[in-house]
Amino acid sequence: MKTFIRFFFKTVRVVLGPVVVLKETLTRPRGVVRIQAAQDKVNRQCKSLTLYQYKTCPFCSKVRQEMSRLSLNIQRIDAQPAGPDRQALLQGGGQAKVPCLKITDKAGKSEWLYDSDKIIAYLRGRFVAA
């Protein structure tokens, strides 16, 4: 069953991937404009965040659009190819699933947040009024 679901999503990504990328490019929101000091503060906060994603994943696209809307400069890591980044996602978060937001606190402890809706809710809760 798990293999079937992975195959299904892989097929959807291959077929619909270019559409997802094109739609994202054409509909990318303008992004909030903050005064420089506020944007600098947000940029510093974003340094503790990393988005594990695939370029052609529609759920990742949804999160990236929200990042654009909120003007968040969050590092994006392509976790699709087998390799150290995908391995880091699997080891840290427990699943090779995207999107996943890695949130690192001041003590260096990381939380791995899965699910596009939860990630978007987290970003809005933290940055909408920033």
Q: 100 forms bridges with which residues in the sheet?
A: 52, 114
List CB contacts of 26: < 8 A, sequence separation 6 or more.
none
Phi and psi based region of residue 73 (left: phi greater than 0; alpha: psi -120 to 50; beta: remaining):
beta
Among 16, 32, 77, 96, binds ligand GSH (CB under 6 A): 96
Kindly state the smallest distance separating residue 43's Cβ from ligand GSH, in Å. 25
Distance from C-alpha of 18 to C-alpha of 34, rounded to nearest angstrom: 32
Kindly state the smallest distance separating residue 8's Cβ from ligand GSH, in Å. 9
Q: How many residues bind ligand GSH (CB under 6 A)?
A: 13
- Mask 35-74, x = binds ligand GSH (CB under 6 A)? -------------------x--x-x---------------
- Active site (annotated) includes residue 59: yes
